[in-house]
């Protein structure tokens, strides 16, 4: 009996081993045929660490290679939740160091993930404190942070980026695909404790973004910002903007707005402050628009400068509307009509021309259509079809009512007169280069059409010089240079759809110097008070900017040849 029991036990053990062996074989077969890919991938994930190598964002320079947008090193804090044991203690410590809510941090480090961001791009002194704490499961990662060394300087041109260095506004947005570059990828071999052993391979090297060289001159931009800021505060304006361009090429030398913002911290400012008024705001221009009628009348040979026009002593009936001058005039010459800015005189000139001609030339000057400048948000302004105008429009349109424009359009329009009669497309990016200085894309002047003849241009130049010397823009007159331009004071539309008697746009457009103009400038103020006339508010800003910029240009032109010779000798 004992022998039989032993034999049964033996067979049972053998059977158990055989069943276990079959189960083992089945399991191996199952792993080999059904789970091998999954387990191989899991092992690779545990052994291999894939890392994205970020590309450096391209830099932005002014026309003289002064940096406007650069990159600086910063550190970001991330955590590996599974490596944090006392999560409550770590959350408390980080909340103090990073000035974050403890519950926010605790929620993130409690997630079942291998990687969570805690805070991106922190100051160096904070990152050093975290490094000294040596918190288990909390790490620092070096990143690039966009920086604008000029702070407010050219903020509306440059725009800004988000936390991931993607452009959100301005040039940063429009040229984002050129600036951002392409990230690279590499993978490392890790041991069982997740320690990196060696760099195994670099699958793709990062390609840094291209650099942009703008037409902006940082020095002239500074002059503009300073003059605009002073006048904006002095005149208690709701908004203001200035555009400076080279009239012969269309290069934008400066563009500024008030209120403004710091692109290093755009979230700290209102949308109103970040709006690029020079291209996004449209308004009725008032008397600056009279340059269209002046050019049309002379180009069409309908008037001469000495022709006399009776200005009705300040009151003139058009249909059922009474047109007024800001002060009564009797008989004025064609030249005096514009130097003294007589609404009635301009209306009578326009009546002889016809509204169709006035609108035709307005369109030729670029009104009613976007210029296509490389900035986001540009509006067209408004120039209606002839059929949409009324019987009184012949009085309204020539003096800058029933049309809307932008400050950029005004700068481009006055450039037509300054450069001899050509409409030149404004632009703000000169070229795109790679990090070795090779030109990827070159921009340049584009003359789109001839608007008026050189002769007409010279005649209107003389009239606009008289506006500064003897007319409504005497506060723009310089002792050092000869300036020319036109003032504008336009009533804003009130909430009832009529013209306000307390809210105005004050503007001045001009060029300098009269002979061989190097600058075309548009200055616009929104609701200045208590003074609101363009000749009082905007003209002095033009004068200040033009004088400073011309002196700077003269110095540059004087010394640039010597610098070039010195550079050649050095090379």
Query: Which residues in the chain land under pLDDT 50?
Result: 42, 194-201, 562-571
* β-strand partners of 76: 141
Query: What is this structure's pTM?
Result: 0.83
pLDDT number for residue 200: 47
The CA-based diameter of the chain, rounded to the nearest angstrom, is 146
pLDDT number for residue 30: 64
Structure-block tokens of residue 466 = 């008289």
As a dihedral over the C-alpha atoms of residue 78, residue 82, residue 83, residue 85, rounded to 10 degrees, the angle is 110
C-alpha to C-alpha distance for 295 and 356, rounded to whole angstroms: 14
Give ∠ CA 415-420-424 in degrees, rounded to 5.
45
pLDDT number for residue 54: 75
Q: How many residues does the chain have?
A: 571
User: By the 8 A CB rule, do 284 and 247 touch?
Assistant: no
C-alpha to C-alpha distance for 26 and 33, rounded to whole angstroms: 10
Which one, of 491, 526, 530, lies nearest residue 237 by Cα?
A: 526
Domains of the chain and any CATH numbers = 53-181+202-214 (3.90.1310.10), 218-262+276-432+445-561 (3.40.710.10)
* pLDDT tens string 458-477: 999 999 999 999 999 999 99
C-alpha to C-alpha distance for 79 and 135, rounded to whole angstroms: 10
pLDDT number for residue 46: 52
pLDDT number for residue 270: 95
* pLDDT tens string 46-92: 555 555 667 889 999 999 999 999 998 888 888 888 778 888 888 88
Burial of residue 360 (CB within 10 Å: 0-12, 13-18, 19+) is: middle
Q: How far apart are the first and last CA of the chain?
A: 111
pLDDT number for residue 80: 81
Helix (H) or strand (E) holding 510: strand 499-512
């Amino acid at each position: 009996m004992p022998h039989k029991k032993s034999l049964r036990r033996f067979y049972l053990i053998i059977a158990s081993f055989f069943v276990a062996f079959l189960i083992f074989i089945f399991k191996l077969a199952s792993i080999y045929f059904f789970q091998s890919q999954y387990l191989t991938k899991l092992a690779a994930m545990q052994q291999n660490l894939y890392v994205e190598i970020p590309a450096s964002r391209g830099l932005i320079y002014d026309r003289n290679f002064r940096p406007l947008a650069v990159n600086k090193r910063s550190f970001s804090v991330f955590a590996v939740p599974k490596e944090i044991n006392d999560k409550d203690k770590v959350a408390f410590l980080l909340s103090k160091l990073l000035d974050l809510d403890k519950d926010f941090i605790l929620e993130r480090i409690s997630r079942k993930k291998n990687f969570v961001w805690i805070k991106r791009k922190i100051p160096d002194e904070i990152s050093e404190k975290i490094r000294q704490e040596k918190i288990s499961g909390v790490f620092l990662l070096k990143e690039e942070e966009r920086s604008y060394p000029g702070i407010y300087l050219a903020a509306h041109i440059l725009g800004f980026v988000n936390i991931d260095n993607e452009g959100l506004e301005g040039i940063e947005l429009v040229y984002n695909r050129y600036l951002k570059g392409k990230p690279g990828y590499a993978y490392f071999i890790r041991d069982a404790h997740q320690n990196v052993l060696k760099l195994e391979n670099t699958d793709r090297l990062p390609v840094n973004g291209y650099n942009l060289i703008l037409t902006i001159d940082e020095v002239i931009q500074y002059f503009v910002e300073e003059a605009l800021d002073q006048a904006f505060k002095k005149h208690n304006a709701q908004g203001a903007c200035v555009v400076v361009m080279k009239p012969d090429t269309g290069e934008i030398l400066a563009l500024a707005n008030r209120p403004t913002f710091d692109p290093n911290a755009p979230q700290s400012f209102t949308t109103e402050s970040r709006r690029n008024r020079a291209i996004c705001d449209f308004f009725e221009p008032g008397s600056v628009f009279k340059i269209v009628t002046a050019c049309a009348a002379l180009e069409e040979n309908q008037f001469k400068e000495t022709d006399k026009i009776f200005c009705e002593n300040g009151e003139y009936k058009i249909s059922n509307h009474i047109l007024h001058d800001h002060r009564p005039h009797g008989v004025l010459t064609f030249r005096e009509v514009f130097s003294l800015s007589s609404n009635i005189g301009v209306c009578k000139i326009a009546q002889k021309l016809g509204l169709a001609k006035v609108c035709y030339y307005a369109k030729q000057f670029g009104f009613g259509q976007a210029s296509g400048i490389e900035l986001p948000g540009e509006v067209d302004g408004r120039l209606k079809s002839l059929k949409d105008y009324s019987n009184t429009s012949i009085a309204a349109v020539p003096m800058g009512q029933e049309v809307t424009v932008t400050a950029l359009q005004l700068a481009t329009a006055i450039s037509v007169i300054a450069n001899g009669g050509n409409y030149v497309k404004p632009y703000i990016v000169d070229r795109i280069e790679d990090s070795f200085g090779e030109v990827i894309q070159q921009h340049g002047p584009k003359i789109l059409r001839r608007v008026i003849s050189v002769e007409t241009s010279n005649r209107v130049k003389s009239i606009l010089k008289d506006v500064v010397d003897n007319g409504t823009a005497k506060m723009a007159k310089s002792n050092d240079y000869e300036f020319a331009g036109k003032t504008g004071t336009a009533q804003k539309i009130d909430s009832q759809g009529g013209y306000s008697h307390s809210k105005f746009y004050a503007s001045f457009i001009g060029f300098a110097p009269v002979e061989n103009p190097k600058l075309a400038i548009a200055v616009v103020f929104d609701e200045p008070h208590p003074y609101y006339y363009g000749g009082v508010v905007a003209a002095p800003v033009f004068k200040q900017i033009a004088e400073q910029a011309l002196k700077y240009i003269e110095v540059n032109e004087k010394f640039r040849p010597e610098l070039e010779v010195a550079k050649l000798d050095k090379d």
